[in-house]
Chain A
Amino acid sequence: MPGLEDLYREIILDHYRTPRNRGELDPPAVKIDGHNPLCGDEITVYLAVDGTGDDAVVTDIKIGGQGCSISQSSASMMTKAVIGKQVGEINAVMRRFKSMMGIDNIELEEADSEVDLGELEALQGVVKFPVRIKCAVLSWNTLANAIAASAASAADDA
């Protein structure tokens, strides 16, 4: 059995103990809830996006809700990875991250291999604990919904 040290890397625990970008954003930022029906974890992603399409920029992101060390640290690291980035770049990070999590229906694009996951690499050990993969990707799936909701509301305004 893989050891707990593979799962609970120091950087993960640091993000768990001191989560980055906790809080809320006022509209027009979108607010999307995500649930892990298995364990009851709940996450809220507040996302402020400027522009439209793949060039749109995430100008701010905040995280609310409760969850385990893996879901909370993954969300915290995610905020650092996406803030100030373009939607197109974020989608690439998302594909690489989910691919690292062993989610096999992800179609990587050619340029994705150059994406640097940075400290998100620390979550690689989660793959050895399959029941925890859902914890690690909860915030990312919620972010994907938030990006879609932002695009929809931008389209409505146009």
Chain B
Amino acid sequence: MFDLDAVRSQFPLLADRTIDDSRVVYLDSGNTSQKPRRVIDAMTSFMETSYAPINRSSYRLAGEATEAYEAGRTAIARLINAPSADEVVFTKNASEAMNLVAMAWGRANLEAGDVVVLTEMEHHANIVPWQMLAQERGIEIRWVGLTADGQLDLSNLDELLSDAKVFAFTAMSNVLGTIPPTKKLCAAAHAAGALAVVDACQFVPHNVTDVQDWDADLVAFSSHKMCGPTGIGMLWGKMEILEAMPPFMGGGNMIDTVTFDGFTTAPVPAKFEPGTPAIVEAVGLAAAVEFLEDIGMANIRQHEMSLTRYALDTLNARFGDDITIYGPDNVEVRGGIFSFEFRDLHPHDVSQVLDEKNVCVRAGHHCAKPLMQTLGVNATTRASVYLYNDEADIDALADGLDGASDIFGF
């Protein structure tokens, strides 16, 4: 295990920021994570000492900047056990990565009537790009349903996957915390002849990730949920798949040559990185990966599993039937995300009352409106933890909830 105080002390906002003279209880890491000193310093130092364009100028400083940018790619490849750093494509965020998959791979490989299978617990980022493709060319979208405890209902998976070209699913639900059996789902996709696309946005920051063990084809995730900066996301893919894909967006950096008649593309990954990329952010991301590696992803997962157990037990013990926490109870198959209904109070009001106690949670549909429909609600309150949270944060959440119903008189 790791020393929680030592971890928290590395996050300036968590260590030093106060509102109304008290510390911030940050329970919104499923939304975006806080940033450690190491990331902040790496970005500042890079801008102060090594900042220059990448890939296009031949002076030494530009070479240095290019190396620093590429170190971000290498760090990501190491974190997810990718066979080659060249298979890591930098995007603006995970949503762009999913759009890249749907628009580049999808447009090249899907036509009217082709089937894409999604699950009912997907984030809009893994829904809307496919729906755009459905509008554009009439592909069919099928949905894997959920069990009563918020896991995937795999009982008819073979039927849903029959003749499917793509199976795109989350490795960890951003609403339910559910961790589906990704390796098994990739195998099922391949058995049906479908491409296995994984939205690993919530998974990678909190778990040991091994894309080779999954045998996934394409995996999207983001930097800002794993202690890195905003503005940079990742698409990892098997090289032969990335090579066969047409480019997504055109411009500088992604070409081999351009003439009056046309263009040829640069090799992967530059083929998918038009324009000046998020250079400083890639440097910050490399620092974030090193920070996480020093603590150990397995340790982070262990810490969050025990915190998840504590949260489920504490909230259920204190509020009984007054609280409904969605998602599985077994912490082996869920991460530290708790979406809940509380005493018929609207999530916006719950979040407002919690904010008075400096407890930061998200209220709303969490960019998963179809899932809200499945759950039969408009919105939920969602608390989500990360490596810097502890039992005191969960207690603060519970204390804050305790005061909520007094105000509304329910």
Interface residues of A (CB under 8 A from B): 1, 3-4, 7-8, 13, 16-17, 38-42, 66-72, 129, 132, 135
**Does B3 sit within 8 A of A, measured CB to CB?**
no
Known contacts A13-B408, A68-B346: does B352 contact A39 (CB below 8 Å)? no
* Cβ 8 A contact of A40, one of B19, B349, B372, B409: B372
**Does B165 sit within 8 A of A, measured CB to CB?**
no
* Chain B residue at minimum C-beta to C-beta distance from A17: B409
* Chain B residue at minimum C-beta to C-beta distance from A10: B409
B407: A residues at CB distance < 8 A: 4, 8, 13
Q: A1 to B407, alpha carbons, bound, how many Å?
A: 18
Report yes or no: B378 in contact with A13, Cβ–Cβ below 8 A: no
B7: A residues at CB distance < 8 A: none
A42: B residues at CB distance < 8 A: 378
* Cβ 8 A contact of B352, one of A4, A40, A71, A72: A4
Interface residues of B in 338-363 (CB under 8 A from A): 346-349, 352-353, 356, 363
Report yes or no: A68 in contact with B348, Cβ–Cβ below 8 A: yes
**Does B23 sit within 8 A of A, measured CB to CB?**
no
Known contacts A67-B346, A68-B348, A69-B408: does B20 contact A1 (CB below 8 Å)? yes
A129 to nearest B CB, angstroms? 7
Q: A42 to B348, alpha carbons, bound, how many Å?
A: 13
A64 to nearest B CB, angstroms? 12
Report yes or no: B356 in contact with A4, Cβ–Cβ below 8 A: yes
Report yes or no: B408 in contact with A40, Cβ–Cβ below 8 A: no
Report yes or no: B352 in contact with A7, Cβ–Cβ below 8 A: yes
Q: A72 to B352, alpha carbons, bound, how many Å?
A: 15
Interface residues of B (CB under 8 A from A): 19-20, 346-349, 352-353, 356, 363-365, 369, 372, 378-379, 407-409
B364: A residues at CB distance < 8 A: 38-40
In the assembled complex, 29 residue pairs joining A and B whose CB atoms fall closer than 8 Å, in A order, are A1-B19, A4-B352, A8-B407, A13-B408, A17-B408, A17-B409, A38-B364, A39-B347, A39-B348, A39-B363, A39-B365, A39-B379, A40-B365, A40-B369, A40-B372, A40-B378, A41-B379, A42-B378, A66-B346, A67-B346, A67-B348, A67-B378, A68-B348, A69-B346, A70-B348, A70-B349, A72-B346, A132-B348, A132-B352
A69 to nearest B CB, angstroms? 5
* Chain B residue at minimum C-beta to C-beta distance from A39: B364
Q: A21 to B20, alpha carbons, bound, how many Å?
A: 40
* Chain B residue at minimum C-beta to C-beta distance from A41: B378
Most chain A beta-carbon contacts within 10 A, residue among B347, B348, B352, B407: B348
B349: A residues at CB distance < 8 A: 68-70
A71: B residues at CB distance < 8 A: 348
Most chain B beta-carbon contacts within 10 A, residue among A3, A38, A66, A68: A68
Report yes or no: A13 in contact with B19, Cβ–Cβ below 8 A: no
* Chain A residue at minimum C-beta to C-beta distance from B362: A39
A90 to nearest B CB, angstroms? 26
A1 to nearest B CB, angstroms? 5
A13: B residues at CB distance < 8 A: 407-409
Q: A6 to B253, alpha carbons, bound, how many Å?
A: 54
Closest 3 CB pairs of A and B: A68-B348, A40-B365, A68-B346
Known contacts A4-B407, A68-B347, A132-B348: does B356 contact A40 (CB below 8 Å)? no
B408: A residues at CB distance < 8 A: 8, 13, 16-17, 69
Report yes or no: B379 in contact with A4, Cβ–Cβ below 8 A: no
B379: A residues at CB distance < 8 A: 39-41
A16: B residues at CB distance < 8 A: 408
B369 to nearest A CB, angstroms? 7
B352: A residues at CB distance < 8 A: 4, 7, 129, 132
Q: A41 to B353, alpha carbons, bound, how many Å?
A: 18
Q: A54 to B363, alpha carbons, bound, how many Å?
A: 39
A144 to nearest B CB, angstroms? 22
A129: B residues at CB distance < 8 A: 352
* Chain B residue at minimum C-beta to C-beta distance from A42: B378
A105 to nearest B CB, angstroms? 24
Q: A4 to B404, alpha carbons, bound, how many Å?
A: 11
* Chain B residue at minimum C-beta to C-beta distance from A72: B346
Q: A129 to B372, alpha carbons, bound, how many Å?
A: 26
* Chain B residue at minimum C-beta to C-beta distance from A16: B408
Known contacts A39-B347, A129-B352, A132-B352: does B409 contact A66 (CB below 8 Å)? no
B409: A residues at CB distance < 8 A: 13, 17
* Chain B residue at minimum C-beta to C-beta distance from A65: B378
